[in-house]
């Protein structure tokens, strides 16, 4: 499934500000620009006014016949520099591909060369994630057993299908596995389930975990 990529820059102690200063210098020589007005407004309304915060307006790009531009935000809130959001400046939203395109432009245009100078450790996550990375081997095996064995027109209503479905739910619940409903719905659709049935199973999944949690609390 597609995901928003994450960019982290891990530097040696006390180098974050120097890195950002050099980054600003490179940006000021390009078609991108620093949005100090956005930064000032953010710090005025934020609990993290003492932290390094940078907002950069990207250049305008043509992406699949659509103009895109964003305000890219970076901070050192967690002790390392991280891009924590890209806000659209054209249209109302950026989809996964558009967001990742702008993030990678930022990396290629500025971050890559600075990281050589600073010998930084870069973490740039992948634009796609397999569900096994979220739920692990055992839960995936039980999910596949349900999905491959179930009647895809009736979901988990047949007793045998329901038994396999419950096994998946119990593994997720017992192990405290966190998986988003949207992620699960997308997985079902990618594995041959209709949109309606995938959404029904997603709602069943969410309801089942809520019910088990309430039962355990009592």
pLDDT bracket for residue 50 (50, 70, 90): low
What share of the chain in percent tops pLDDT 90? 82
Instruction: Provide CB contacts within 8 A for 204, sequence distance 6+.
Output: 155, 156, 165
Domain ranges of the chain: 7-124, 132-217
Q: Tell me the average pLDDT of the chain.
A: 93
What value does the mean pLDDT take over residues 80-109? 96
- Residue 41 and residue 170: Cα distance in Å, rounded? 47
Is the pLDDT at 152 greater than 70? The verdict is yes
Helix H or strand E segment including 84: strand 81-88
pLDDT bracket for residue 176 (50, 70, 90): very high
pLDDT per residue as tens digits for the range 13-42 = 899 999 999 999 999 999 999 999 999 999
Supply the pLDDT for residue 206. 96
Instruction: Provide CB contacts within 8 A for 186, sequence distance 6+.
Output: 1, 198
**How distant, in Å, are the alpha carbons of 26, 133, 134, 156, 162 from that of 41?**
23, 37, 36, 51, 53
Is the pLDDT at 97 greater than 70? The verdict is yes
């Amino acid at each position: 499934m597609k995901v928003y990529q994450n960019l982290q820059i891990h530097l040696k102690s006390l180098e974050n500000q120097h890195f950002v200063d050099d980054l600003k210098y490179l940006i000021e020589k390009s078609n991108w620009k620093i949005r100090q007005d956005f930064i000032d407004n953010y710090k005025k309304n934020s609990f993290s006014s003492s932290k390094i915060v940078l907002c950069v307006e990207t250049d305008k790009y043509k992406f699949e016949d659509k103009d895109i531009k964003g305000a890219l935000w970076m901070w050192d809130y967690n002790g390392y520099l991280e891009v924590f959001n890209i806000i659209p400046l054209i249209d109302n939203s950026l989809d996964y591909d558009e967001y990742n395109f702008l993030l990678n432009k930022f990396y290629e245009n500025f971050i890559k060369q600075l990281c050589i100078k600073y010998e930084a450790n870069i973490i740039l996550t992948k634009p796609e994630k397999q569900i096994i990375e979220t739920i692990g081997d055992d839960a995936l095996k039980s999910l596949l057993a349900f999905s491959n064995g179930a009647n895809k027109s009736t979901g988990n209503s047949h007793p045998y299908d329901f038994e396999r479905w419950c096994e998946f739910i119990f593994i997720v619940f017992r192990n405290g596995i966190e998986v988003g409903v949207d992620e699960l719905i997308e997985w079902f659709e990618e594995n041959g389930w209709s949109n309606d049935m995938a959404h029904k199973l997603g709602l069943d999944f969410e309801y089942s975990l809520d019910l088990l949690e309430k039962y355990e609390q009592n």
